[in-house]
């Protein structure tokens, strides 16, 4: 349960606050009574540039930063832009946390990624396994760039007593997701593909890989709730997973989305394309024990909501 009295004196800067997750985090902050929420848009503040970070910190006078801003995408985007994904995410996060500490921002909430885990992490992924190997190759540059924020948060806590926390959300989905075929993740990409195939009368659609990998997904409302519970209640050095506890194979996911979207054609698996990490599912005990977070949205209901939103808003 949120403590609204905690939030009413907070001045919160949400980087990436205009994005998919950011919009929900900002709405929930306002529902908690936060009157001073600052959303730096990319046109005014390029957070890869130190001078823009300094100007943003001066303009916000925030006492908490929730750092959601990131350059992200699916397997294709990660393979095409590994250098950009590494450099932009690393430089943005490291400079921002350093200057937040230097300028007296009381708390820094760093959002990592499931891509930080080693390729062959035992399932369910436990935070203790984060350093047991190299991440899955297609998204390793992105995953490692974000993982450095954990190293930084722990180092700054150790040396300076700085209150920076690090959260590891699993793949997100829900209304408002990115449905651009060049940069979208698996759920919005499949929803769009099924709906467009239906309208075009296509008898088959192509899907990457062989369908064997598994994934876990977290509904956007649940993710935002987990982040704000941690921002309010958690002040420790350990990384914390945010997940739903529900694992599904890509094959079952594609068949479920096709059914919910009303697509009855054939699914053709392009096994020349990469599968990505073999399995992904999180141990979510730490989030439940440390700050009482547990996902509420059922997966099929969340998918229905996402499909309905896309149908209503795609134009």
**3-state secondary structure at position 34:** coil
Nearest to 13 by CA among 50, 62, 83: 62
Among 45, 87, 117, 142, which one carries the catalytic annotation?
Answer: 142
Strands, E, within 16-162: which ranges?
Answer: 36-38, 64-67, 107-111
d(C-alpha 140, C-alpha 277), whole Å:
11
User: Is the bond preceding 124 in cis, omega lying within 30 degrees of 0?
Assistant: yes
Give the β-pairing of 266-270 and 204-208. parallel
The answer to whether 142 is a known catalytic residue is yes
Q: What is the largest CA-CA distance in the chain?
A: 62
- What 157-163 contacts at long range (C-beta under 8 Å, 24+ apart), as own/partner pairs, is 157/237, 158/237, 160/101, 162/101, 162/108, 163/106, 163/107, 163/108, 163/235
Token pair listed for 192: 């769009």
Alpha carbon distances (Å) from 295 to 112, 127, 224, 261, 263:
18, 18, 10, 24, 29
Which residues does residue 205 pair with via DSSP β-bridges, in sequence order?
A: 267
CB 187 within 8 A of CB 218: no
**Helix 20-31, helix 220-233: angle, nearest 10:** 60
Give the β-pairing of 214-219 and 247-249. antiparallel
Catalytic residues: 142
């Amino acid at each position: 349960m949120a403590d609204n009295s905690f939030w009413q004196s907070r001045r919160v800067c949400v980087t990436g606050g205009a994005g998919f997750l950011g919009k929900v985090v900002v709405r929930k902050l306002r529902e908690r009574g936060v009157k001073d929420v600052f959303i730096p848009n990319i046109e005014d503040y390029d957070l890869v540039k130190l001078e823009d970070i300094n100007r943003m910190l001066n303009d916000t006078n925030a006492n908490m930063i929730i750092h959601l801003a990131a350059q992200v995408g699916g397997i294709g985007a990660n393979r095409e832009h590994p250098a950009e994904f590494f450099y932009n995410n690393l430089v943005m996060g490291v400079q921002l946390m350093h200057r937040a500490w230097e300028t007296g921002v009381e708390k820094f909430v760093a959002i990592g990624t499931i891509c930080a885990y080693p390729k062959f992490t035992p399932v369910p992924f436990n935070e203790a396994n984060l350093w047991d190997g190299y991440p899955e190759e297609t998204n390793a540059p992105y995953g490692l760039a974000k993982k450095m924020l954990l190293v930084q948060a722990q180092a700054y806590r150790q040396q300076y007593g700085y209150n920076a926390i690090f959260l590891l959300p699993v793949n997100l989905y829900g209304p408002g997701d990115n449905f651009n075929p060049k940069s979208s993740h698996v759920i919005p990409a499949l929803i769009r593909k099924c709906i467009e195939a239906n309208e075009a009368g296509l008898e088959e659609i192509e899907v990457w890989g062989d369908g064997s990998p598994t994934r876990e997904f977290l509904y956007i409302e649940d993710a935002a709730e987990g982040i704000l519970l941690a921002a309010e209640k958690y002040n420790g050095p350990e990384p914390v997973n945010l997940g739903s506890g529900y694992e599904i194979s890509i094959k079952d996911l594609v068949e479920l989305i096709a059914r919910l979207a009303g697509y009855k054609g054939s699914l053709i698996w392009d096994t020349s394309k990469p599968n990505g990490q073999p399995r992904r599912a999180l141990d979510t005990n730490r989030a439940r024990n440390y700050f009482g977070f547990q996902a509420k949205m059922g997966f099929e209901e969340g998918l229905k909501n996402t499909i309905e939103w896309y149908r209503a808003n795609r134009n």
